[in-house]
A and B are shown apart, each in its own frame.
Chain A
Amino acid sequence: MNNRSYSARQLKEQIKNKSLSPQELSSSIISLCNSVQEKYNAFISIDPDIISKEIEALFDDKLKVGDNAPLFGFSYSLGDNIATSGYVTTCASKMLSTYKPPLDAHVFLKLKENGAIIIGKTNMEEFGIGCSGESSYFKGVKNPWNTKHTAGNGAAAAVLTGVVNFSLASDVRGELRQAASYCGVFALKPTYGRISRRGLLDSASSLENIGLMAGNTMDLAAALTAVAGHDPHDVTSLRSEAPDYISLLEGNSKELQAAVPENWQDAPYLEDELKDIFQGQLKKLEELGIKIHFVQLPHFQHSSLTATIISAVEAFSNLANYDGVRFGYRAEGRHLQEMYTLTRSEGFSSKLKKFLTFGALVSSAKYYNDYFLKAQKLRSVITKELEDCLQRYDLLLTPTTPFRAPGPGILPGREELPDPAGYYTAAANLAGLPALTYPLHTKGLPYGLQFTGKKEDELTLLKAALLLENENTLAFPNFDFNNQGV
């Protein structure tokens, strides 16, 4: 356990023995939200009325939320590209700044069923593409460890500050894990299809997943258990039922075999300090009984390039419905085509405009075969390489990002094609594999350690994380809020 402001389990006790009134709880949560918002800009929407109502329901025996609901007392946030009919859902874009979706996302409904309360919708890069803190219409999220640096997204900042127990956000080429690494929290991108994508306003359907962040492994597992599983309304969701991760985590774990890409140090912008830290972690893992094997994965290094091309082309297509006709922002034009062009040029950020143009370019007749099609072939090769490797080993071990949260002094904050932050993370999206980032709290900004696992085997990743968590004392910072919460 860590020293964040409150835990769901403690809260549950307090609600049960009524040592806390709903008003007290609401006002403390709302004021904590406001502080986090003021300092870090973590949220796009916070609605005190919704929070108060949800909390009252927790105390009201007549209402459905029984205290035996698995997530009773848990609070969470959703990335603002996950549909909620009660809140505007903006994708951090001017294009959708007032958009209310007609339906709720599958995950929202599942979490409600499980008793969790939603605190708000978190800030992110526009449409969840990238993690460098430049393209949100609502401005970037500041990193609570050092506000000069980006937090990657609001979901990570919200978890880090303890204003929520867990948060959900999307992961296209690793954004969820990168932000968690930048903020030093846990994150899991499950197997593609493990969590229904219904209600996700996705930019790249074949790569993008909803993933989870939390302050510890058990919270991550609890949230995953609630939202995972087949959804008949998402034909790409896994047919197999998801297990109860919490109960399985209690069992003994066998000795794990971990693979490390031999050339892991080839990443552009790799920080020297990270090299030492990663090597130190390998030793530590060996001591904990995780056996390390260096392996050759010759195409792994091209993952980010491959995923950047594919995500740009899919975004070009997925975001083509943002045309000012049925919803969202519209600029006036003298005729239809001018209206389209002005709407999209004014409604999207400069970064997204360039990215979509890039997507149009690499899929144009001239470049289709040499770039887009080649990237899809390379995707097959990378997938096969990873699957072969994971046949022999339980997990693949890498840093999560080559560098810490971008900001002054830590360079790759600018736009780049391919995205250097995705060097280690993008492979899991290409292959649809689960990947977990474990926080490493060091002096200054944190790092992340990434475990990539076999298809549908989130459990092994959670076990490995728990093993480390039990041995390490994570030093979560104490945030100096006027009102420290409960």
Chain B
Amino acid sequence: MPEFETVIGLEVHVELLTNTKLFCGCSTAFGADPNTQVCPLCLGLPGGTLPKLNEKAVEYTIKAAMALNCRIADEITFDRKNYYYADLPKGFQISQFFQPTGRDGYVEIHLDGRSKKIGIHQVHLEEDTGKLLHMGDIISSPYSRVDFNRAGVPLIEIVTEPDIRSPEEARLFLQKLRSILRYIAISDCKMEEGSMRCDANISIRPAGSKELRTKTELKNMNSFRAVFRGIEYEVERQRSVVMEGKEVIPQTRHWDEAKGITKAMRSKLVSANYRCFPDPNLPPYKLPAEWLEEIRKSIPELPDSRYSRFTGEYGLPPYDAEILTASREIADYYEAVLTGYNEPKSVSNWIMSELLRLLNSTNTGINDCKIKPEDLGKLLQMIDKGTISGKIAKGVFEEMFATGKKPEDIIKEKGLTQISDEDTIAKIVDSVLAGNPGSVEDYRKGKNKALGFLVGQVMKETKGKANPQLVNKLLKEKLDR
């Protein structure tokens, strides 16, 4: 069986977090009633107003292009892409066909301990379309409703080079892209809500070959999992087509999430002919150098650079660093805890096992987390100092998470301070030994398990507050005497 190599290029659409649409002042808020966020311009009504370019949308596009290591164009220009569809109000989409805002960038992904650069062909700004609501599915629907609220919302399209070699790389790329775009806060990148959408161009070729073979375009993948599964399925499908000695047909295919297969869309004989030309209502906007500089300065430290710092400076394992840096807020939180308590690995453990678990189970974002980073630092210090045990600390942590109280207040209120006074513990140990002669007997016969039981009894007596090391030490001394 011949070896095949998979060649994947992605086209990712991301809705920008602007207040208003690309060329008019209509709101972009998600979830409004149909056709309540439209005006003569974004409805394409004749004799309405003329397009006026949204400053924020341009700024965000440049920011994204910079964060993806692109070269930035000198001017922002717009072109019309002419075609007919019910969700397209003007009969053309305004996009950047001739001169994208950013070109020739890259994104680095980490895979099996190595890193790989995925080339970014271009980043450009364009308008979104409206939405069609069918009665049932598109094929049987006797008519459809059109909602133009989304028409004209600014989108950026990120087109990769065909550098992706597996479904896993595609998923990692998308996750890294989302992470970067969230770091610079230009989009919420929610695939489920459609604010991040991904199409894939997929082909296979004999391993070692350099030429590009016939590709299919895969659409309708609405989650990271769907991207992975869809591509995986499509690669397999192409492989069996080729193995049967047939040709892959260039076509657009839809991922069917429920059935787990890809399906061909009806192929149009006439090839798409968009007749792109510069929009005569939108002269070029010359980008001032000072503005570009300002935007560049506003870009925070990005995940890759943070990752290297976390593995280098803090000595974190790659796994920890990857998770902590995937979100800017979590990485910020992590570093904020470190300023009060400089034990990188221990803080990482607490965030990754305790904090992220609680955030997930309560569906809370890190920004809404009630535990202040300095309070987490304090809690960890108290464990080190022996003020409380690690076990008690977990209970305190949960209380902090629920109420936002400071750890010292919780400990005081509940009297949770660890008992480290030898005399006090010795008295309790004596009474436990006196009350459990059977266990003492067992221990002396060599059943080490009995020691654990006796420790547990002491802890029970002290409501878990006794210093466990001290309990162990005293019990052993007395038993071995």
Chain A residues proximal to chain B, CB less than 8 Å: 82-83, 89, 91, 96, 99, 101-103, 105, 197-201, 204-206, 233-236, 313-314, 316-317, 319-323, 325-328, 336-337, 340, 360, 363-365, 368, 372
* B275 A236 Cβ-Cβ under 8 A: no
Q: Which residue of B lies closest to A196 (CB)?
A: B50
List A contacts of B82 (CB < 8 A): 316-317, 320
- Complex: how many Å from CA A159 to CA B148? 42
Which of B53, B80, B91, B92 is most buried by chain A, counting CB atoms within 10 A of its CB? B91
Q: Closest residue of chain A to B144, judged by CB?
A: A336
Q: How far is the CB of A155 from chain B (nearest CB, A)?
A: 17
Q: Does B280 contact A (CB under 8 A)?
A: yes
Q: Are B275 and A103 in contact (CB under 8 A)?
A: no
- Contacts of B115 on A, CB cut-off 8 Å? none
Q: Which of B45, B47, B82, B89 has the most CB of A within 10 A?
A: B47
Is the pair B46, A320 in contact by a Cβ cutoff of 8 Å? no
Tell me whether B47 and A89 are in contact (CB under 8 A): yes
Partner of A102 from the list B40, B80, B275, B280 (CB cut-off 8 Å) is B40
Which residues of chain A come closer than 8 Å to B84, judged between CB atoms? 320, 323, 337, 340
- A105 to chain B: which residues have CB within 8 Å? 47
Assess whether B273 is interfacial by the CB under 8 Å rule: yes
Q: What residues on B are CB-neighbors of A204 within 8 Å? A: 280
Main secondary structure of the interface of A (DSSP, over half): loop
Closest to A314 in B: B280
B152 to chain A, nearest CB (A): 13
Provide the bound-state CA to CA distance between A368 and B97, in Å.
Answer: 15
Distance in angstroms between the alpha carbons of A201 and B40 in the assembled complex: 12
Q: CA A96 – CA B52 in complex, angstroms?
A: 26
Pairs A-B, 6 closest by C-beta atoms: A320-B91, A83-B47, A206-B280, A101-B47, A205-B280, A321-B44
Bound Cα distance A214, B283 (Å): 32
In the complex, A354 Cα to B84 Cα: how many Å? 19
B90 within 8 A of A: yes
- Complex CA gap A368/B277 in Å reads 10
The one of B40, B43, B273, B283 in contact with A364, judged by C-beta atoms closer than 8 angstroms, is B273
Distance A204 CA – B279 CA, assembled complex (angstroms): 11
Q: Are the CB atoms of A363 and B50 closer together than 8 Å?
A: no
Known contacts A316-B82, A321-B89: A326-B282 contact under CB 8 Å:
no
Closest A residue by C-beta to B44:
A321
Contacts of A323 in B (CB 8 A): 84, 91
The residues of B that contact A234 with a CB separation of less than 8 Å are 50
**Alpha-carbon gap, A233 to B39, bound state (A):** 14
Contact A200 B45 (CB under 8 A): no
Can you list 27 pairs linking A and B with CB atoms under 8 Å apart? Answer: A82-B47, A83-B47, A89-B46, A101-B40, A103-B40, A199-B48, A206-B280, A233-B49, A233-B52, A235-B50, A235-B52, A235-B282, A316-B275, A317-B80, A319-B91, A320-B84, A321-B45, A325-B86, A325-B89, A325-B146, A326-B44, A327-B45, A327-B46, A340-B84, A365-B271, A368-B275, A372-B277
| B-chain residues with CB within 8 Å of residue A236 when the two chains form the complex | 50, 280-281, 283
Chain B residues closer than 8 Å to A206, beta-carbon distance: 280
The number of residues on chain B lying at the interface, defined by a beta carbon within 8 Å of a beta carbon of chain A, is 30
Do A200 and B47 form a contact, CB below 8 Å, given A314-B280, A316-B275?
Answer: yes
When the two chains form their complex, are residues A320 and B50 in contact, meaning their CB atoms are under 8 A apart? no
- Contacts of A89 on B, CB cut-off 8 Å? 46-47
Give Cα distance in the complex from A360 to B82, angstroms: 10
Report Cα–Cα, A103/B40, bound state, in Å. Answer: 8
Residues of B within 8 A of A321 (CB): 44-46, 89-91
Question: Whole-angstrom distance between the alpha carbons of A99 and B40 in the complex?
Answer: 13
| Alpha-carbon distance between A99 and B46 when the two chains are bound, in angstroms | 9
In the complex, which residues of chain B have a beta carbon less than 8 angstroms from the beta carbon of A83? 46-48
- With A320-B90, A321-B89, A325-B146: A103-B273 Cβ-Cβ less than 8 Å: no
Segment 37-73 of B: residues with Cβ below 8 Å from A: 40, 43-53
Inside 8 A of A233's CB, which chain B residues have their CB?
Answer: 49-50, 52
Report A-chain residues with C-beta under 8 Å of the C-beta of B48: 83, 101-103, 199
Query: Considering the chains assembled together, what is the distance between the CA atoms of A337 and B282 in angstroms?
Result: 29
Closest residue of chain B to A91 (Cβ to Cβ) is B46
Q: Which residues of A contact B40 (CB under 8 A)?
A: 101-103
Question: Cβ of B45 and Cβ of A102 under 8 Å apart?
Answer: yes
- Asked whether A103 and B47 contact (CB < 8 A) given A233-B52, A321-B89, A363-B275, the answer is yes
Minimum distance in angstroms from B411 CB to a CB of chain A = 63
Alpha-carbon gap, A102 to B40, bound state (A): 7
CB proximity of B50 to chain A, nearest CB, Å: 5
Nearest B residue to A96, CB-CB: B46
A334 to chain B, nearest CB (A): 11
| Inter-chain contacts of A201 with B (CB < 8 A) | 46-47
Cβ–Cβ contact B280 & A326, under 8 A: no
What is the CB-to-nearest-CB distance from A371 to chain B, in angstroms, rounded to a whole number? 12
CB–CB B46/A363 < 8 A: no
Asked if B277 and A326 sit within 8 Å, CB to CB, the answer is no
A103 near B283 with CB under 8 A, answer no
| Residues of chain A lying within 8 A (CB to CB) of residue B46 | 83, 89, 91, 96, 99, 101, 201, 321-322, 327-328
7 extra A-B contacts, CB within 8 A, seeds A233-B52, A235-B53, A372-B277: A105-B47, A313-B277, A316-B82, A320-B84, A327-B45, A337-B84, A340-B84
Docked complex Cα distance between A363 and B81 (Å): 12
Residues of B within 8 A of A337 (CB): 84
Q: Which residue of B lies closest to A337 (CB)?
A: B84
Q: In the complex where A363-B275, A372-B277 touch, is A317 in contact with B50 (Cβ < 8 A)?
A: no
Taking a contact as CB atoms under 8 Å apart, the answer to whether A197 and B50 are in contact is yes
| In the complex, residue of chain B having the shortest beta-carbon distance to the beta carbon of A104 | B47
Cβ–Cβ contact A320 & B92, under 8 A: yes
